[in-house]
A = this chain, B = another copy of it.
Amino acid sequence: MSGATDHGGLEVLDFAECERLLTNEYVGRVAFVDAGEPIILPVNYVYRDGVVLIRTAEGSKLDAASMRSVVAFEIDGHDDEYHSGWSVLVVGVMEELDGDEEREYENLPLTPWAKAVPRTHWLRIRADRITGRRLP
């Protein structure tokens, strides 16, 4: 813990704690601007070394990746009883992997939960910035 708090009184998580949470979780949300409006979509993902990997079919996520859009990726958790919670935010460019890059990651435990339409495209969010907050 860094011990710092932000303007809203939330504890600021240090980078190591953000990476620990990103590594342990496997469902997050990606947000980007689609046709002029913000959109948030849940995804299952794997985090490795500053990179968030997701798999997708055709659609708005792939469109955003083809434009190398800057996106936000978020994970969070909360405890209803204690009204506590935490969140980690990753901001960076989302882009599609090519075949060689996919092979680099193919042994990662990244199986799309949605099976009806194959998720054949691998997308990478390369973190420019990783920040986290906790509400004690």
Residues in chain A within 8 A of chain B (CB atoms): 5, 7-10, 27, 29, 31-33, 37-42, 44, 56-59, 70-74, 76, 78, 83-85, 87, 89, 91, 113-117, 135
22 contacts between A and B (CB under 8 A): A7-B57, A7-B59, A8-B56, A8-B57, A8-B116, A9-B115, A9-B116, A27-B76, A29-B76, A31-B39, A38-B38, A38-B70, A40-B40, A40-B72, A40-B73, A40-B89, A42-B76, A42-B78, A42-B85, A42-B87, A44-B83, A83-B113
Which applies to chain A's interface (DSSP): helix, strand, loop or mixed? strand
From B38, B71, B76, B87, A91 is in contact (CB under 8 Å) with B38
